[in-house]
Amino acid sequence: MYKILKSLLFQINPESAHHLTFSLLKLGKFLPFFTYFSGKSSVNLHPSLAKNVFGLNFRNPVGLAAGLDKDAIAFNELGDFGFGFIEIGTVTPKPQPGNDKPRLFRLPKNEALINRMGFNNHGVTEAAKKLRNRKDKTLIIGGNIGKNKLTSNEDAVNDYIICFNELFDVVDYFVVNVSSPNTPNLRDLQEKEPLTKLLNTLQNLNLQKTNPKPILLKIAPDLTNTQLDDIIDIIKDTNIAGVIATNTTISREGLDYDASQIEKFGAGGLSGLPLTKRSTEVIRYLKQKSNNAFPIIGVGGIHSAEDALEKIKAGADLIQLYTGFIYHGPKLISDINKKLIKHD
């Protein structure tokens, strides 16, 4: 049934399809037939899938990556699909419209997307308000935080502090996003000195709380091995909980489109199958080079149960879906969990 729904949604532009899907999700509670699309299955609650990672109990290791539910609009409904955890955001202190449209493109030949959304969101306060309406307490919620476009890198730490404080009571873990390619100069914050300062500031604030939350860092797939070595050192020095590997890539290698078509898509982060190999390489490098020093959430190009298992074999403790979920639907969640049960 998802194939039929997808074929209809793919007839309209991606951003309109996104908003329509979320409208259907919110209506789902009133439309009994909508549960047919959900792919809900007891397999997603199989006891062998439960994992404790950075002190949190995940009912299964398959999560939804940030970017789909930026404003925490449908996290309850998305959780009903069988995800073990949902990551909302990226949110910023102030609402912002993001980059000019069009800014989201499908590349169906490669089961990929290119986006240059630019942290469009309604602001952290609105997201926090919605997250107080969490219905399923077993569903882990992550908060992905960033800076506003007009905030300079020198002042960026203040934006992250605002988001951290606003979300602290309504999320289970945090993700520091300095790796999106769609906010000017944001990736400069991945350099060792500014990143160490940012993470130390948040971790010091975190440790002042009576119940500190895990803080993770989301990194780009375009980092060199030398930069990945720096990331390992930073994680150890700041003692944050772990890494999400990886965000979207600025590379256009391996696409089944000619140069003029690729140029027409323009700038933005590429996600989907073209990222599968590189994200797995980054996971494996971090795990081996750090001697398994910290947990890793693997994301990037997971479009099948086999892709998910490959990430876990490379060293991912948990995995996240985004583009694969759009192309293959909720059944992908239960397919992955079935594979993991057999593998276990």
HEC sequence for the chain: CHHHHHHHHCCCCHHHHHHHHHHHHHHHHHCHHHHHHHCCCHHHHCHHHCEEECCEEECCCEEECCCCCCCCCCHHHHHCCCCCEEEEEEECCCCECCCCCCCEEEEHHHCEEEECCCCCECCHHHHHHHHCCCCCCCCEEEEEECCCCCCCHHHHHHHHHHHHHHHCCCCCEEEEECCCCCCCCHHHHHCHHHHHHHHHHHHHHHHCCCCCCCEEEEECCCCCHHHHHHHHHHHHHHCCCEEEECCCECCCCCCCCCHHHHHHHCCCEEEEHHHHHHHHHHHHHHHHHCCCCCCEEEECCCCCHHHHHHHHHHCCCEEEECHHHHHHCCHHHHHHHHHHHHHC
Q: How many CA atoms lie within 13 A of 247 on its CB side?
A: 26
180 is an active site residue: yes
- Distance, in Å, from the CA atom of 193 to the CA atom of 190, rounded to the nearest integer, reads 8
Q: What is the dihedral of CA 231, 246, 338, 330, to 10 degrees?
A: 150
- Catalytic position from the list 7, 16, 38, 180: 180
Write down how long the chain is: 344
Which sequence positions are flagged as catalytic?
Answer: 180
